[in-house]
Amino acid sequence: MHIYLDNAATTPLDPEVIEVMVQTMQNEYGNPSSIHSHGRQAKTIVEKARKTIAQLLNAAPAEIFFTSGGTEADNMAIVRSIEAFGITHAITSPIEHHAVLHTLEELAKTGKIHLDLLRVDDKGNIDLTHLEELLAHNPRTLVSLMHANNELGNLTDIQRVSEICQQYQAIFHSDTVQTMGHYPHNLSQMKIDFITGAGHKFHGPKGVGFLYINSNNKIKPLIFGGAQERNMRGGTENVYGIAGLAKALEIAYRDMEQHQSYIQGLKSYMIEELTKAIPTIQFNGNIEPQQSLYTVLNVSLPCTNMSDMLLFNLDISGISASGGSACSSGSDIGSHVLRAIQADPDRPSVRFSFSKNNTKEEIDHVVAKLKEICDSE
């Protein structure tokens, strides 16, 4: 039995997405920049996909820019907005994805900005009072806070963050990679400057994503060398990837309520069964449905002697998950997120992340395996 519970890392392609991509690969091989009929047909596919995504997010097509994924989109938003708006101060949290954290740290290291990290509690909740304090005492600021944490699953109230940012004329970028296609984003109602998406997090292809740039903002490209994406990103467009991305987001919105209900059911079931099977189990981050991403569960296990071998043992049992410990050895190995919330470095942690393809039977098998591993100590 092979069980895939690492959907926050990447998801399997939806069959409907594969179908659209194969058709595009077979029939639409023109370069979208070419002015002949083959090129025009390819260009039409790209623009239709842009329109689809814009409609789903209640944005304008001119605000959607295709990229190679979430990391590039985050880099483009952060690096180019700091430059365009003459920003000298940035705020983020110590538990952001490295696409944001490392980018801002690099800018701070080279003296372009002063960087402040927000306080987080032991559950990984971000202190929004601290955000207000910092905004009140600094020049115009870039704020970058993710919608949902990729390791813990914690949800941040980005509506509230956007209101605080408006109050202080701050630029607000949110890495929405983990929530895109899992929660609705209504950009006509939210004042936000930049959000990001990556196809492979919602059953679309790898190597393609997008950046939403609010039409009030004008920034320069990150990648030069061509007039593609309305002069915003040089390089021939990944046409079949873009077609797959749009189809995947369309399916995600079509089936969102049903999937949320089903996947939240699996997560709640796993929490109940693990608590019964291993009474000393703990959970990293929030696990209440209103405060937590329904696709992610981070488990802290009592089997301290198995720490290094836990993921390996799961893997040889046919269970794919991801993990890490807070790691007290002083090395860079281990999770910066778990360190930031001061998780017990002696307890191994595993992130299980679910999709519409998982079943209760799979959860039962994983719970039994974890119990067996912990009991064998």
Catalytic (active-site) positions: 327
How far is it, in rounded angstroms, from Cα 334 to Cα 322? 12
**Structure-block tokens of residue 71:** 């990391």
Closest CA to 50 of 192, 195, 194, 250: 250
Angstrom distances, CA of residue 208 to CA of 52, 115, 125, 177:
15, 29, 30, 12
Contact of 80 with 144, CB cutoff 8 Å: no
Amino acid at 248: A
- Looking at the chain, the number of H-run helices and the number of E-run strands are 12, 13
Structure tokens at 28: 């639409």
Closest CA to 88 of 111, 106, 105, 118: 111
Q: Identify the bridge partners of residue 349 per DSSP, sorted by sequence position.
A: 300, 324
Amino acid at 324: G
What is the rounded distance in angstroms from the CA atom of residue 39 to the CA atom of residue 185? 32
Largest CA distance in the chain: 68
- Other C-beta atoms closer than 10 Å to the C-beta of 376 total 10
Task: Identify the CA nearest to 69 among candidates 208, 246, 228.
Answer: 208
How does 202-228 read in b/e, with b if 16+ C-beta sit within 10 Å?
A: bbbbbebbbbbbbeeeebebbbeeeeb
The Cα 377–Cα 369 span in angstroms is 13
Whole-angstrom Cα distance, residue 79 to residue 89?
Answer: 12
Q: Are 87 and 113 in contact (CB under 8 A)?
A: yes
Specify whether the CB–CB gap between 363 and 5 falls below 8 A.
Answer: no
- In total, the chain counts a number of residues equal to 377
Q: 């790691």: which residue's tokens? A: 327
E strand or H helix at 49? helix 37-57
